[in-house]
A and B are shown apart, each in its own frame.
Chain A
Amino acid sequence: MTTTDDRPLLEVKGLRMHFPITEGMMTRRTVGEVKAVDGISFSVARGETMGLVGESGCGKTTTGRCILRLETPTAGSIVYDGVDIAGLSQKQMVALRQRIQVIFQDPFSSLNPRMKIGQIIAEPMKVHGIEPDATKREARVRELLTICGLNARFADRYPHEMSGGQRQRVGIARALAMNPEFIVCDEPVSALDVSIQAQVINLLEDLREKFGLTYLFIAHDLSVVRHLCQRVAVMYLGRIVELADSDTLFDNPQHPYTKALLAAVPVPDPLVEQGRVFRPVQGEVPSPINPPTGCVFHPRCPIAVESCKQSRPESREIQPGHFVACTQVGLS
């Protein structure tokens, strides 16, 4: 028998999210589909921070939205704390809503422009009955603002009166207001300047320890991902191509795409950078509408062989906990 504690909090299996592409104003014919997420599996342990990285448009946000059930997956299961939520109705999801929160990529469109910051943070606490007392709620709002590095006086401002980074911190405060256990962090710090970014990263770490939070952390900044995540999954065109613990992934990347990704990170040192010859990943960025056959990375892959064009590589565990979806890794 498994107990609650050694079972992962979240287990995603064979997740697919295909969006239909329609054409024509009247008939809305389906002319194809965007394979935004195309069969991915991973799990996240309680208290862990799992990183999700990869090319723009590879399906990271869509994966997060499926877990939040803002999308209904085309296929696969999403087992959260023992319950498969992939097939739950919106009504059945209500109970879980509070436990799974999100911090969005785009801080502007996610804040109601007509509400003051204080209301924005207090509203969900009120709606979900987390803090019914108005005075306590206000105090909590001030506390949350301060935790997130904002002056408590911002409670009386409107979103448009704040900078992008300030708004992002409001988004974090709002998510924390729900006392969640799992947070999908979709680019939560990319809009922040690095000094505040460091505060927020430390904050996310502190909150994880203090409240036993679990994060799915989506980000492009690989140095932030290395710092914050225990394990990292690398996505490419709707699939996970490599998954390993953070140290292994950054010190010993195996998939050719992961290697290319790491090589593209500029370091904050002008002398190093100005001398570095940069070779971007070869070839066109493929489209999830017409993904390449076989291994989706093969058209751009420096080590591809003929068979890569035909069959989709399965994910293999090359070391305990280190998964790579490439037939050529570890051959020589």
Chain B
Amino acid sequence: MPPLLDIRGLHTEFRTSAGTVRAVDGISYSVQAGETVAIVGESGSGKSVGAMSILRLIPDPPGRITAGEVLFDGQDLLKLTEEQMRQLRGSQIGMIFQEPMTSLNPVLTIGRQITETLEQHRGATPAAARERALELLGLVGIADAARRLKQYPHQLSGGMRQRIMIAIALACEPKLIIADEPTTALDVTIQAQILELMKDLTQRLNIALIVITHNLGVVARYATRVNVMYAGRIVESGSAAAIYHDPRHPYTIALLRSVPRLDRPRQARLDPVEGQPPDLTRLDAGCAFRPRCRFATDACAAGRPVLAQAGLEDGHLAACFNSGSLSHTDQAA
């Protein structure tokens, strides 16, 4: 079966006063219906920009998608008109943004924001839309739904606002949901509840899910495939099991080592990835992780490594010149 979403060679840039930021620097991956792909990686590595590029929500200027294809159900979204894109957003592709306070409209009630989507995309009557809105709030675990519908975003807690965003994304039962940090603002019990709900929906309705998250526990539980990003590129890609138990990129190894874990004794001090995140306006010709990499060799300065088969699992890819010789004692688990 052809994938629901197939991203090929996507490049997105920003012109800033400091220079051109190559925020997404040639990423390719695909997502099957019913699959959950997790995107993890360094802050500023292009996870959100990559997701926004799929929906063509990059502010232009300063941003611009400069190359690539985004094939959704076989058609290249980058070739659609703005009007066609508007139709698609919210109905076929749902989006949960990283910052719910800025993506909810502060002057509209919660209820209005949900019903608006349903009326626009589904042609629902106001009464039917309200019924569905109540149902959706229940689905995302918000009590006293009728009263909450009359409230404004600032009257809700951060986690509630996030659940409202999730309710809006689910409203039209899209084929693909892109969730950018959907549960960071939530406590673990609600996080678990919502993720179980999203997992159930993806399986039952065959919805594909791209989830961007920093929570490696969440990834371990829900992802069928994991893409690790660094400096605008995917540096490692594979099943969750391959990524966690046989990481083949030094950044992934460092990432896994840096988390405090409840299933292990408390450490005296955390072991972060040392050094500064890269300045995307000033990348040189070598591997972008090189300045922070414990495995770097002379070869790493010569060019940027590309994704290639690594490890034992078929389709486990890593972009590192030394991925075959990373010593096992350095692995996380």
A54 within 8 A of partner (CB): yes
> What are the residues of chain A within 8 A of B181 when measuring CB–CB?
164, 191
Contact B270 A201 (CB under 8 A): yes
A266 x B221 contact (CB < 8 A): yes
Are B44's CB and A227's CB within 8 A? Answer: no
- Considering only residues 28-67 of chain A, those with a C-beta below 8 Å from chain B are 53-58, 61
Are B101 and A106 touching (Cβ within 8 A)?
Answer: yes
The answer to whether the Cβ of B271 comes within 8 Å of any Cβ in the partner chain is yes
A-B contact count (CB 8 A): 221
State whether the Cβ of B80 lies closer than 8 Å to any Cβ in chain A.
Answer: no
User: Any chain B CB within 8 A of the CB of A255?
Assistant: no
CB–CB B263/A267 < 8 A:
yes
Contact present for B256 and A268 (CB under 8 Å): yes
Quick one: which of B155-187 are within 8 Å of A by CB?
A: 155-160, 162-163, 181, 184-187
Say yes or no: A270 contacts B244, CB within 8 Å.
Answer: yes
Interface assignment of A252: CB less than 8 Å from any CB of chain B: no
Q: Which of A23, A197, A224, A281 has the most CB of B within 10 A?
A: A197
- Nearest B residue to A190, CB-CB: B184
**Bound form: Cα–Cα A57–B269 in Å:** 31
B266 to chain A, nearest CB (A): 6
Question: Any chain B CB within 8 A of the CB of A109?
Answer: yes
With the chains together, A76 CA to B259 CA distance in Å?
A: 38
B189 close to A264 (CB less than 8 A): yes
Looking across the interface, which residue of chain A has its beta carbon closest to that of B243?
A: A270
A111 → chain B, closest Cβ, in Å? 11
Decide yes or no whether B296 CB sits under 8 A from chain A.
no
Residue A149 contacts which of B141, B156, B276 (CB distance < 8 angstroms)? B276
Inter-subunit contact A197/B261 (CB<8 Å):
no
Least CB distance from B256 to A in Å reads 7
Known: A266-B218, A269-B244. A198 touches B160 (CB 8 A): no
B260 at the interface (CB under 8 A from A): yes
- Shortest distance between the CB of B220 and any CB in chain A (Å): 4
Contact of A289 among B147, B162, B193, B276 (CB under 8 A): B147
Contact indicator B192/A280 (Cβ below 8 Å): yes
In the assembled complex, how far is the CB of residue A282 from the closest CB belonging to chain B, in whole angstroms? Answer: 11
Select which of B99, B260, B262 is within 8 A of A108 by beta carbon: B99
B214 to A280, Cβ gap below 8 A? no
CB distance from A274 to the nearest CB of B (A): 7
Q: Which residue of B lies closest to A166 (CB)?
A: B44
Asked if B160 and A272 make an inter-chain contact with CB atoms under 8 angstroms apart, the answer reads: no
> Knowing A195-B273, A202-B270, A222-B262 touch, does A266 contact B220 (C-beta < 8 A)?
yes
Interface residue A314 (Cβ < 8 Å from any Cβ of B): no
Answer whether residue B98 sits at the interface, using C-beta atoms and an 8 A cutoff: yes
Q: Report chain A residues within 8 Å CB of B156.
A: 57
Q: State whether the Cβ of A313 lies closer than 8 Å to any Cβ in chain B.
A: no
Task: Select which of B42, B62, B187, B216 is within 8 A of A54 by beta carbon.
Answer: B187
Complex: A133 Cα to B2 Cα, angstroms: 63
- B155: chain A residues within 8 A (beta carbon): 19
Instruction: Using known A-B contacts A166-B43, A227-B266, A271-B241, determine if residue A280 contacts B193 with beta carbons closer than 8 Å.
Output: yes
Interface residues in A262-298 by Cβ distance below 8 A to B read 262, 264-274, 276, 278, 280-281, 284-287, 289-290
Task: Tell whether, in the assembled complex, residue B189 and residue A55 are in contact, meaning their CB atoms are under 8 Å apart.
Answer: yes
Partner of A223, one of B192, B260, B272: B260
Residues A164 and B99 in contact, CB atoms below 8 Å apart: yes
**Contact flags (1/0) for B54-87 with A, using CB distance below 8 Å?**
0000000010000000000000000000000000
Closest B residue, CB atoms, query A284: B143
A157: Cβ under 8 A from any B Cβ? yes
Contact B262 A250 (CB under 8 A): yes
Q: How far is the CB of B99 from chain A (nearest CB, A)?
A: 5
Q: Does A193 contact B (CB under 8 A)?
A: yes
> At the interface, yes or no: A226 with Cβ under 8 Å from chain B?
yes
B27 contacts chain A at the CB level, 8 A cutoff: no
Residue in A108, A151, A266 whose CB lies within 8 Å of B101: A108
A195 B99 Cβ-Cβ under 8 A: no
Chain B residues within 8 Å of A156, by CB:
17-18
Given contacts A280-B196, A284-B143, whether A194 and B258 have CB atoms under 8 Å apart is yes
Does B255 touch A at the CB level, under 8 Å?
Answer: yes
Residues of B within 8 A of A261 (CB): 187-189
Residues of A within 8 A of B163 (CB): 56
Q: Determine if B188 and A197 form an interchain contact, defined as CB atoms under 8 angstroms apart.
A: no
Cα–Cα, bound, A222→B216 (Å):
13
Q: A55-B187, A197-B272, A268-B216 are in contact. List 11 more A-B contacts (CB 8 A).
A: A56-B163, A57-B159, A57-B160, A61-B158, A220-B191, A227-B260, A268-B244, A273-B217, A280-B192, A281-B193, A287-B143
Can you identify 9 A-B contacts, CB atoms within 8 angstroms? Answer: A19-B155, A56-B158, A56-B160, A105-B158, A108-B101, A192-B43, A196-B277, A199-B273, A270-B221
